[in-house]
A and B are shown apart, each in its own frame.
Chain A
Amino acid sequence: MATVSMTINGKQVTGDVEGRTLLVDFLREDQRLTGTHVGCDTSQCGACTVHVDGKAVKSCTMLALQADGAAVTTIEGLADGDVLHPMQEAFREHHGLQCGFCTPGMIMSATALAARNAAPTEADVRHHLEGNLCRCTGYHNIVKAVMAGARAMQA
């Protein structure tokens, strides 16, 4: 076991982990932040997307120890109390989710896009979401939500 420390959603945390402990398992099992989901084992579905030092990454394909000293933001860290982040609000407003399982990863991926591209086109969004699988929505309303959310984030 080794000790790992990181800032998660603004809070400093420390834990004991094995070398093989994945960041997503540290978040879900040790920190009980279960909003980050695991939908595949080949690093493709994107349900586990979180931000590490401001970059969207797949937390299922990163060891907890690789995040030692990093600042991690999960879906639980986006809203300001009960006030939703504009991207969360956009997903709700545009029915960009059905079962909700891919949603945290979608939103974390979408906010990373918006940080770089304030007014993404439909094609930009569809291309950007290459690493986030959804089986419910056909992506139609997710695309609408991300475009609206990105614009709302500028407001």
Chain B
Amino acid sequence: MPRDDGIGASVRRKEDFRFVTGRGTYTDDINRYGQTYAAFARSPYAHARIDGIDTAAAQAVAGVVAVFTGDDLAAAGVNGLPCGWQIHSKNGEPMAEPGHPPLAQGKARYVGDAVAVVIAETRAAAKAGAEALEIAYTPLAAVASIRAAKAAGAAVFDDIPSNNCYDWELGDRADIDAAIAAAPQTVTLSLVNNRLVPNAMEPRSAIGDYDTATGEHTLFTTSQNPHVIRLLMGAFVLGIPEHKLRVVAPDVGGGFGSKIFHYAEEAVVTWAAAKIRRPVKWTSDRSEAFLTDAHGRDHETTVTLAMDNDGKFLALKVITDANMGAYLSTFAPCVPTYLYATLLAGQYTTPKIFAGVNAWFTNTCPVDAYRGAGRPEATYVVERIVEEAARHLNIDPAELRRRNFISPDAFPYQTPVALEYDSGNYAGTLALATKAIDYDGFKARQAASKAAGKLRGIGFSAYIEACGIAPSAVVGSLGARAGLYESGAVRVHPTGSVTFYTGSHSHGQGHETTFAQVIAERLGVSVENVDVVHGDTSKVQFGMGTYGSRSLAVGGSALSKALDKVEAKAKKIAAHLMEASDADVEFKDGVFTVAGTDKSVAFGDVALTAYVPHNFPHDELEPGLEEQAFYDPKNFTYPAGCHICEVEIDPDTGVIEIANFVAADDFGNIVNPMIVEGQVHGGIAQGVGQALMEGCVYGEDGQLVTGSYMDYCLPRADNLPNFKVSTQVTPCPHNPLGVKGCGEAGAIAAPAAVMNAVTDALRSVGVTKPIDMPATPSKVWAALNGA
């Protein structure tokens, strides 16, 4: 009988008791003795020279403790924020990599760029002090968009007059151009992948603390990867060795990528706490979050797909401009390159693919990885052009996809864009999805809508993603300045309960439950007797954190390897207790037995023996039962599936209602179906948000127009339907749990499905004018009315 709390069970989450009772501990819930508060003075201009900062008035504000500017930090030897990934342009030159001082020096480069920090006894006094700072600015011409960046004239950095960060390509341009020229059929689209603001509900927060007795620095921060922050901030920015720097990320209230990166505020509060010998706390307002949390997406792309007359894909050419914002955020350069262009084969056998990507500096908030990071952009390009091809050739969009799918027996499959897909069954998820949405009944539903004065459309998105980043050697060769393995340590206590220390870090994914289930399954202890420790560099030896749907595929694999070691040692102890050879010992459901005998010993007894080693194989083993493992993946994992969206448009207003949304996903093996479904729901909501509601808008002067929930349209409960989700299991063949990752699928798949549905509905009344995300009511109405 399978355990009711093991792999495959929808175990209710261990973390929920504290969250539903308000007993979670988020960073802003923490206060340190003697704590001060920091407020940042931020540039009101997108681009300005800082002519001088007079701090006297701020110093005079009651309660102000200290004021620091960029010059103060520079004088103290504080370095700039590092970028973790170096891209090389097609000519072999490394990308332009301008410095990124935590507090601006000389120039401010986007609205919200931190210029100075005021530290005070209260939050109110800090804000008053920041407002009292007299900062002399000379406004400069702003480069507020990709178009402006490409135009001659203003430059974000004087020494990068072109505003170009890199000009990168993948594939043989001439070969693909020739294939396209020779092809009987081609379709082309120009697409904008709209800039998004991540909007984790918990605003960022950071508390710096310094122990004058030990010289140890502590940073409490809202981070998806505290060890990465320790490495970046300690080694590169502040020069603090690891053993004197502890980074704690307690409960984290959502991240979606935005809490991967090392932000200026973390370094400033850590440095300032040591400087003033008191803890320094900063918590972002939502308004600050809109201005300064790294944004996502922001691509402009032209794509051409060449086909034969039967719709067999022959070649794909993708030319993309990507907005980097004003500085290079931690992983920004890899997002529009290796996390994007390598996915352009999608689920298809397209033999020739070329991608050319230019990245541009602009006077806007830095752009970096946001849920999906590159893969939603790739899926959007591929799935929009495939749908367009189906319309062009007048072939059913499901049928066109089937004609071009990589077949299930073709794995491992080497794509023309570097990746080797490990396993998949794309026709399987397409079939699941078309059945779930009753694709055959669509025409009747469309007719019924028409009779009611509405326009109905349907759209597919057969997506693929590369998750579980990544083989360190591979990413290293591509420019990553870090390894991307994971670590885990299983500590079995004397009474048989277990603590698992993992370098992954939940920001809502339920790791405390999922990892406990894996342990329960393997060791036969109940999930109640397993605790997961994460988010603290002083407790977990090392880790790379949670992003890219990697926690189970990489962190879970590290756990699995550590469990192998625990089991191996425990078997030896059990063998000793049962006076048998360990080769004859079997372990199942928490009990060690010897084949062919009635001898048995429970896991708890073995644990006790490990710590009370009266009768113990001392010659062979050390006492204790704790094992650690690192896991460096052999390949990425390749979750894939098919999402289908059906929309209904009110032509009088342009309002779009999601009439139906189905998802059929293949995540490999699933540990907790309830949690996986929740991840898919949330991803879809963000994808639907991108398609229909969310768009970050900067004015030409670089002012953020969508700076609050008054103007940035975050999906609410009544914007969304219930989602019909289902899964198919094609296990990952190269990691021990056979898992692939599920966190980003919805956000990757949904935008193309929704926009294919919207454009399908518009075509039903002859409107073929392009429409970009977000397809807001006003845009839809304008498209319908030729405006």
| Residues of B655-704 whose CB lies within 8 A of A | 674-675, 677-679, 681-686
Which chain B residues border A36 with CB–CB below 8 Å? 22
Contact of A42 among B201, B708, B715, B717 (CB under 8 A): B708
Q: Kindly state whether residue B442 has any CB partner on chain A within 8 Å.
A: no
B141 to chain A, nearest CB (A): 31
Q: Which among A79, A98, A125, A129 has the greatest number of chain B C-beta atoms within 10 A?
A: A98
| Residues of B1-39 whose CB lies within 8 A of A | 12-13, 15-26, 28-29
A-B contact pairs, 13 of them (CB 8 A): A34-B26, A35-B23, A37-B201, A42-B710, A44-B708, A100-B15, A100-B508, A101-B254, A125-B717, A129-B718, A130-B717, A136-B682, A139-B716
Instruction: Convert B171-205 into 0s and 1s, putting 1 for each residue whose CB lies closer than 8 angstroms to a CB of A.
Output: 00000000000000000000000000001111100
Q: Kindly state whether residue A26 has any CB partner on chain B within 8 Å.
A: no
How distant is the Cα of A20 from the Cα of B122 in the complex, in angstroms?
Answer: 13
A91 to chain B, nearest CB (A): 5
A19 to chain B, nearest CB (A): 12
Do A137 and B678 contact each other (CB < 8 Å), given the known contacts A40-B709, A143-B722? yes
A126 to chain B, nearest CB (A): 4
Which chain B residues border A59 with CB–CB below 8 Å? none
Count how many chain A residues have C-beta atoms less than 8 Å from C-beta atoms of the other chain.
56
A2 to chain B, nearest CB (A): 16
Q: Kindly state whether residue B132 has any CB partner on chain A within 8 Å.
A: no
Contact of A135 among B22, B256, B509 (CB under 8 A): B256
Q: Which among B253, B256, B286 has the greatest number of chain A C-beta atoms within 10 A?
A: B253
How distant is the Cα of A98 from the Cα of B16 in the complex, in angstroms?
Answer: 8
Q: Do B717 and A99 touch (CB < 8 A)?
A: no
Q: Which among A38, A39, A143 has the greatest number of chain B C-beta atoms within 10 A?
A: A39
How distant is the Cα of A98 from the Cα of B676 in the complex, in angstroms?
Answer: 11
Q: Do A129 and B22 touch (CB < 8 A)?
A: no
**B679 and chain A: residue at smallest CB distance:** A98
Instruction: Convert A39-58 into 0s and 1s, putting 1 for each residue whose CB lies closer than 8 angstroms to a CB of B.
Output: 11110110100000000000
Contact of A37 among B124, B202, B714 (CB under 8 A): B202
Q: Do A79 and B21 touch (CB < 8 A)?
A: yes
Q: Kindly state whether residue B720 has any CB partner on chain A within 8 Å.
A: yes
Which chain B residues border A47 with CB–CB below 8 Å? 201
Q: Do B20 and A103 touch (CB < 8 A)?
A: yes
Contact of B509 among A98, A104, A125 (CB under 8 A): A98
**A35 and chain B: residue at smallest CB distance:** B22
Binding site for B on A (CB under 8 A): 18, 20, 28, 33-42, 44-45, 47, 74-76, 78-79, 84, 88-89, 91-93, 95, 97-104, 107, 122-123, 125-127, 129-130, 132-143
Q: Kindly state whether residue B723 has any CB partner on chain A within 8 Å.
A: yes
How distant is the Cα of A99 from the Cα of B287 in the complex, in angstroms?
Answer: 21
Do A92 and B201 contact each other (CB < 8 Å), given the known contacts A99-B253, A100-B251? no
Contact of A95 among B674, B708, B746 (CB under 8 A): B674
Contact of B286 among A40, A101, A143 (CB under 8 A): A40
Which chain B residues border A136 with CB–CB below 8 Å? 201, 254, 508, 678, 682
How distant is the Cα of A74 from the Cα of B286 in the complex, in angstroms?
Answer: 22
| Residues of B268-304 whose CB lies within 8 A of A | 285-287
Q: Kindly state whether residue B550 has any CB partner on chain A within 8 Å.
A: no
Contact of A74 among B22, B254, B681 (CB under 8 A): B22
Q: Do B685 and A138 touch (CB < 8 A)?
A: yes
How distant is the Cα of A124 from the Cα of B417 in the complex, in angstroms?
Answer: 48
| Residues of B715-736 whose CB lies within 8 A of A | 715-718, 720, 722-723
Q: Do B201 and A134 touch (CB < 8 A)?
A: yes
Contacts A84-B21, A100-B15 aside, 9 further interface pairs with beta carbons under 8 A come to A39-B202, A41-B285, A89-B20, A92-B13, A97-B16, A97-B20, A103-B19, A138-B681, A138-B723
How distant is the Cα of A132 from the Cα of B718 in the complex, in angstroms?
Answer: 11
Interface residue SS majority, chain B:
loop
Q: Do B709 and A42 touch (CB < 8 A)?
A: yes
Q: Do A137 and B16 touch (CB < 8 A)?
A: no
How distant is the Cα of A123 from the Cα of B199 in the complex, in angstroms?
Answer: 25
Which chain A residues border B286 with CB–CB below 8 Å? 39-42, 45
Do A139 and B202 contact each other (CB < 8 Å), given the known contacts A41-B287, A78-B21? no
Q: Do B254 and A138 touch (CB < 8 A)?
A: no
B41 to chain A, nearest CB (A): 17
How distant is the Cα of A13 from the Cα of B253 in the complex, in angstroms?
Answer: 29
**B20 and chain A: residue at smallest CB distance:** A88
Q: Kindly state whether residue B252 has any CB partner on chain A within 8 Å.
A: yes
Q: Do A37 and B26 touch (CB < 8 A)?
A: yes
Q: Do A137 and B20 touch (CB < 8 A)?
A: no
Q: Do B200 and A135 touch (CB < 8 A)?
A: yes
Q: Do B22 and A92 touch (CB < 8 A)?
A: no
**A138 and chain B: residue at smallest CB distance:** B685
How distant is the Cα of A36 from the Cα of B28 in the complex, in angstroms?
Answer: 11
Number of A-B contacts (CB under 8 A): 179
**B746 and chain A: residue at smallest CB distance:** A138
Q: Do A84 and B17 touch (CB < 8 A)?
A: yes
Q: Kindly state whether residue B510 has any CB partner on chain A within 8 Å.
A: yes
B680 to chain A, nearest CB (A): 8
Which chain B residues border A93 with CB–CB below 8 Å? 12
Contact of A129 among B20, B203, B708, B716 (CB under 8 A): B716
Q: Kindly state whether residue B317 has any CB partner on chain A within 8 Å.
A: no
Instruction: Convert B229-261 into 0s and 1s, putting 1 for each residue whose CB lies closer than 8 angstroms to a CB of A.
Output: 000000000000000000000011110100000
B89 to chain A, nearest CB (A): 36
Which chain B residues border A100 with CB–CB below 8 Å? 15-16, 18-20, 24, 251, 253, 508
Count how many chain B residues have C-beta atoms less than 8 Å from C-beta atoms of the other chain.
57
Q: Do B17 and A92 touch (CB < 8 A)?
A: yes
| Residues of B488-517 whose CB lies within 8 A of A | 507-510
Q: Do B716 and A133 touch (CB < 8 A)?
A: yes
Q: Do A137 and B22 touch (CB < 8 A)?
A: no
**B683 and chain A: residue at smallest CB distance:** A138
Which chain A residues border B675 with CB–CB below 8 Å? 95
Which chain B residues border A140 with CB–CB below 8 Å? 678, 681, 685, 720, 722-723
How distant is the Cα of A143 from the Cα of B719 in the complex, in angstroms?
Answer: 13
A71 to chain B, nearest CB (A): 18
Q: Which among B12, B124, B718 has the greatest number of chain A C-beta atoms within 10 A?
A: B718
Which chain A residues border B679 with CB–CB below 8 Å? 98
Q: Do B682 and A138 touch (CB < 8 A)?
A: yes
B278 to chain A, nearest CB (A): 17
Q: Do B199 and A135 touch (CB < 8 A)?
A: yes
- Which are the 3 A-B pairs with shortest beta-carbon distances? A35-B22, A101-B253, A100-B19
B25 to chain A, nearest CB (A): 8
How distant is the Cα of A104 from the Cα of B256 in the complex, in angstroms?
Answer: 21
B352 to chain A, nearest CB (A): 38
Which chain A residues border B18 with CB–CB below 8 Å? 100
Q: Do B685 and A137 touch (CB < 8 A)?
A: yes
Contact of B201 among A95, A101, A123, A129 (CB under 8 A): A101
**A101 and chain B: residue at smallest CB distance:** B253
B252 to chain A, nearest CB (A): 7
Q: Do A129 and B686 touch (CB < 8 A)?
A: no
Which chain B residues border A135 with CB–CB below 8 Å? 199-201, 254, 256, 682, 686, 714
How distant is the Cα of A44 from the Cα of B714 in the complex, in angstroms?
Answer: 10
A22 to chain B, nearest CB (A): 11
B283 to chain A, nearest CB (A): 8
**B707 and chain A: residue at smallest CB distance:** A42
**A100 and chain B: residue at smallest CB distance:** B19
How distant is the Cα of A56 from the Cα of B234 in the complex, in angstroms?
Answer: 45
B223 to chain A, nearest CB (A): 13
Which chain B residues border A79 with CB–CB below 8 Å? 21
A84 to chain B, nearest CB (A): 7
Contact of A142 among B25, B200, B717 (CB under 8 A): B717
Q: Do B22 and A98 touch (CB < 8 A)?
A: no
| Residues of B631-651 whose CB lies within 8 A of A | none
Contact of B717 among A74, A104, A139 (CB under 8 A): A139
Do A95 and B13 contact each other (CB < 8 Å), given the known contacts A44-B709, A45-B709? yes
How distant is the Cα of A127 from the Cα of B717 in the complex, in angstroms?
Answer: 7
Q: Do B21 and A98 touch (CB < 8 A)?
A: no
How distant is the Cα of A44 from the Cα of B684 in the complex, in angstroms?
Answer: 22
Contact of A133 among B20, B201, B674 (CB under 8 A): B201
